[in-house]
Amino acid sequence: MGNFNNFFFAAHLLDVAVGFKTLRTILQSVTHNGKQLVLTVMLLTIIVYIYTVIAFNFFRKFYVQEEDDEVNRNCHDMLTCFVFNLYKGVRAGGGIGDELEPPDGDDSEVYRIIFDISFFFFIIVILLAILQGLIIDAFGELRDQLESVKEDMESNCFICGINKDYFDKVPHGFDTHVQREHNLANYMFFLMHLINKPDTEYTGQETYVWNMYTQRCWDFFPVGDCFRKQYEDLMGE
């Protein structure tokens, strides 16, 4: 699509986010609670529409602004009024009241104050805070998951699941185990070997492992077992 318009070449910069784990986590924090975010935005839009109906019927005169002898009517119909409230009101730090003419001395001043404060409370204080909280909580949850996985990888063998304390009874026992006996890369290379090898040339063991792999069953991993444990069990007999 970049050949059609140079604008699309800018999308290639997103590869930077794919190449760094931290940036991937940030992107995932937005999509992790995607359903809740969409529903919250829908609720925010509905509430803004309710306030638009109220403003259109009772406070439309405050939306008329004069700039350089030109009258700017921001609420001359429902659609314009709704777009103005959604665009200006949600972005304003103090709500829609920051964008309207002040009600000083007007007969509806008290009602306008209630309108402005309630809009600020429900939209700015509550709903926008919920949106931010969903993203922040998702980022924290994903970060905790990554830390948990990292901690588990450092304290347990990925293949057999035996804790490093069992192997570290001898110097460098755990490091030797995960590098030589249960090296994760060796298992990955073996699976890649099966993927690239014609199934008609499989040995009996390779056929067994391939069938388990296609069923996403990992029983062929020696969970809870290793050569050292087998040796100790044999010596115990």
Q: What ranges do the domains of the chain cover?
A: 12-151, 164-236
What pLDDT, on a 0 to 100 scale, did the predictor assign at position 236? Answer: 65
Q: CA 222 from chain center: how many Å?
A: 34
Question: Looking at the predicted structure, is the pLDDT value of residue 213 above 70?
Answer: yes
The residues, ordered by sequence, that sit 6+ positions from 180 with a Cβ below 8 Å of its Cβ are none
Q: What angle do CA 234, 158, 222 make, to 5 degrees?
A: 35
Question: Looking at the predicted structure, is the pLDDT value of residue 71 above 70?
Answer: no
- Average model confidence (pLDDT) for the chain? 83
- Between CA 40 and CA 137 the distance in angstroms is 15
What pLDDT, on a 0 to 100 scale, did the predictor assign at position 1? Answer: 61
Across residues 45-63, what is the average pLDDT?
89
Question: Looking at the predicted structure, is the pLDDT value of residue 65 above 90?
Answer: no
Question: Looking at the predicted structure, is the pLDDT value of residue 89 above 80?
Answer: yes
Q: What is the DSSP string of the chain?
A: -TTT-GGGGGGGGGHHHHH-HHHHHHHHHHHHTHHHHHHHHHHHHHHHHHHHHHHHHHSGGGGEEEETTEEEES-SSHHHHHHHIIIIIHHSTT-GGGGS---TT-TTHHHHHHHHHHHIIIIIIIIHHHHHHHHHHHHHHHHHHHHHHHHHHHHB-TTT--BHHHHTTSTTHHHHIIIIIS-HHHHHHHHHHHHHS-GGG--HHHHHHHHHHHTT--TTS-TT--HHHHHHHHHH-
Across residues 126-144, what is the average pLDDT?
88
pLDDT tens, position by position, 5-31: 677 777 777 777 777 777 777 778 877
pLDDT tens, position by position, 152-205: 888 888 888 888 888 888 788 888 888 888 888 888 999 999 999 988 888 888
What pLDDT, on a 0 to 100 scale, did the predictor assign at position 184? Answer: 87
Q: What is the pTM of this model?
A: 0.67
What pLDDT, on a 0 to 100 scale, did the predictor assign at position 47? Answer: 94
